[in-house]
Amino acid sequence: MTEANQKPNSTLSITPSRSGIERRYGDFPSFPAALDYAAQGKSGFNIYSGRGTLLEALPYSKLRQQAHATARRLLGLGLKTGDRVAVIAESDGDFARIFFGCQYAGLVPAPLPLPVAFGGKEGYINTLRGMITSADARAVVIPDVISGWTADIVADFPLLFGGSPSELMALEEKDIPLPEIDGDALSYLQFSSGSTRFPMGISVTQRSGMANAHAIAKYGLQVYPSSDERDDRCVSWLPLYHDMGLVGFFLTPMTCQLSVDLLPTREFARRPHVWLELIARNKGTMSYSPSFGYELCARRGVREELDLSSWRIAGIGGDMIRPHIIQNFATVFEQCGFSGKAFVASYGMAESTLAISFAPLDVGLRVDTIDLAAMEQKDYASPADETTQAARDFVLCGVCLPEHQIEVRSPSGRVLKEREVGTVYVRGPSLMSGYFNRPEETAKVLSADGWLNTGDIGYMLDQQIVITGRAKDLIIINARNIWPQDLEWAAEHEIASLRSRDVAVFSVDENEGEKVVALVQCRFTEEEPRTKLKNDLVALFRRLHSIDVDVVLVPPRSLPQTSSGKLTRARAKTMYLNGEFT
């Protein structure tokens, strides 16, 4: 049995927030070099159960020693430099040992999702096998929580290893020299949260990963230097198979010698309050969540006395930011010492390792309220005024990180002016080297001079980027550009019974032309309130957006999500067309 699977030990104590060594901000040639330095201090990872019980304290010094041993076990299997190791990413010490073991061995870990947001066992295993195939993995590590599915997951793959962490750790540690790790070598493959039907691994090199970690720590989060009397500490429930969890709260803290308290992602939705309790208990200063995480906590309310005054960076990312949800969280937890000024909007994607921009610290969210009709008809984010019939709040997501660039371009490639809406392009040292073994797909989004077409739509305002949607989600009706997020946001904002991620909007082609459909999760069982909800939504869409929408009520928890908890409209549309909501 591995350390993280042992029963809680009352003698355990967390790693301290102060490492005791000079702060360095990710200025290393590789992640192994970063861990070599962090291991000289006292900080590290702390693994908790979903109920907030400390299961394992893993100082970086101990992790380095165990990662070396794991590296030799992996190489002893016959794995060669550059081989991929698929690791289903439970938030525990085993994942840390295996991930960094791969780093020291010159192998390429590919973190894969747990079955949190998939439609049953069959759909999950099919998705997982697609990712293993895409990565051309030679080894697959499957945590105990789903060990019963191992045979189905690894069937017919030509693997050198397919089993649990404990089986891997039981292998002989062979006396094999560890290689020197070059900055241009692949560090890991990151599958984006939407990678389901045609999964593509994003290739992140040691150099690009370190460049992003350095920029995040020094300029985005502005981690306190070791000379400061204040200490930073990270708390996270975010999945380690998603870039915001892996890079933001696993790799980056290690590269600047911070301690991290990790909660299991799969239990967060059931006990979101444990996240806040852990921040209060350990005086956490940095923690991130998509909007829905804040919504879950606010809906549960203040359960007991909490002191959240230490929380200086409450980051938001991973999805479109819904300002009314964020503002409600601040109102609910103000009595606990939480300040709305702690909110930090940011923008990023796995193709840029993680972060592209950060809003200024200590000011809270800045919201731009625009005229939706003007944006739909003119691709221009005109500020709303008292005559505006339909308005929408968008959050400014900050200025570009140093040594990176952002441009908003028209379809012809012209760089647009402030408030002109177009496609977002980025360039910088932390961009991916490409999609793994997918040169054609890489060429579609990454130009020869290093510009990445993000696929996002937005505009610039006061040198900050504002994201309005995804190009692939755009609905065009009567020469109007209609964003499904606008209709979803309006429904969830105006209808009291609806929550975030309750509505999925998309268009379908019919003989009469394009039709807009809204799938709406309904918790009512009686006919009268169901009919009223449907009629209210039809009227709302007509009033605010001047569009007829076919509203389809679906059961609670039936709308599909990505592995990171985002609503997936593409999958919802496929389910609708297949008659799964009849």
How far, in Å, CA of 136 to CA of 134, rounded? Answer: 5
Q: Which pLDDT does position 482 carry in this prediction?
A: 82
Classify burial at 581, counting beta carbons within 10 Å of its beta carbon; exposed 0-12, middle 13-18, buried 19 or more. middle
- Tell me the C-alpha distance between 336 and 358, whole Å: 26
**pLDDT at position 8:** 52
| Rg of the Cα atoms in the chain | 23
- Write the DSSP string, 207-273: HHHHHHHHHIIIIIS-PPPTTSS----EEE-S-TTSHHHHIIIIIHHHHTT--EEE--GGGTTT-TH
How much is the pLDDT for 297? 95
Give whole-number Cα distances, 128 to 89, 133, 412, in Å.
12, 9, 38
99 in Cβ contact with 110 (< 8 Å)? no
The pLDDT value given to residue 186: 98
Confidence (pTM): 0.86
Q: In order along the chain (582 residues), what is the average pLDDT of each group of 10 residues?
A: 48 94 98 98 98 97 98 98 97 97 98 77 89 97 94 97 97 95 97 68 98 98 96 96 95 98 92 96 96 91 91 89 91 97 96 97 96 89 90 94 98 97 97 96 95 95 94 75 83 88 86 81 93 92 84 91 73 87 78
Q: Domains along the chain?
A: 3-10+44-208+236-249+261-271 (3.40.50.12780), 360-471 (2.30.38.10), 474-577 (3.30.300.30)
Confidence at residue 322, expressed as pLDDT on a 0 to 100 scale: 84
